[in-house]
């Protein structure tokens, strides 16, 4: 298989993840709007804005992933056609630079989850508890997104390394 197919599969995986993020954001938005319409309790009314915020972030990430990687497919094909060796080397550098982010991202998401849990445990204020639930939902979404992104990045990087060692 020609190396460009690995790159295109990477982009397609990112686009799929973006579409799932959009779907997740849309579902959470519908839940938030449902609280707006049918939420009659203090806690129910407090959930509206945290859920809408999480939905907006998820949909923003989804739009970014879909649009960026759709453009990347065309750019990758053009760059690969011009100079395959340079393209593979640039992808190796690019993946090495962001693979190191994953452990830090997980620590940040854990901190967000912890803050949300502390808000739930130590407060009886409806808004603080709602924000806590929103933060936990955001962290859970981030963990899922990060997990599959990290796996795909490792597979892609491994493909790059294998390609470079084959053609030395």
pTM summary value: 0.91
Q: What's the pLDDT score for residue 2?
A: 84
Q: What is the pLDDT of residue 160?
A: 93
Low-confidence ranges of the chain (pLDDT < 70): 1, 167-168
**Cα(78)–Cα(73) distance, rounded to whole angstroms?**
9
Residue 87: per-residue pLDDT: 94
The span from the CA of 117 to the CA of 111, in Å, is: 10
Residue that has been written with the tokens 């949909």 in this structure = 59
| Model pLDDT, residue 168 | 63
CB 110 within 8 A of CB 139: yes
Q: What is the pLDDT of residues 1-10, one digit of tens each?
A: 589 999 999 9
* Inter-residue contact 45 to 39 (CB < 8 Å): yes
């Amino acid at each position: 298989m020609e190396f460009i197919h690995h790159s295109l599969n990477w982009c397609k995986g990112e686009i799929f993840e973006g579409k799932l993020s959009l779907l997740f954001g849309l579902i959470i938005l519908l839940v938030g709007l449902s609280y707006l319409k049918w939420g009659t309790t203090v806690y129910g009314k407090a959930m509206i804005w945290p859920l809408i915020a999480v939905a907006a972030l998820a949909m923003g990430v989804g739009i970014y992933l879909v649009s960026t990687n759709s453009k990347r497919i065309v750019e990758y094909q053009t760059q690969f056609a011009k100079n395959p060796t340079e393209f593979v080397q640039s992808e190796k550098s690019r993946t090495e630079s962001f693979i190191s982010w994953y452990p830090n991202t997980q620590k940040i998401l854990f901190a967000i989850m912890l803050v949300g849990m502390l808000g739930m445990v130590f407060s009886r204020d409806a808004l603080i508890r709602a924000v806590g639930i929103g933060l936990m939902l955001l962290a859970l979404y981030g963990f899922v997104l990060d997990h599959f992104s990290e796996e795909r990045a490792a597979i892609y990087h491994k493909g790059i390394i294998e390609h470079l060692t084959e053609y030395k």
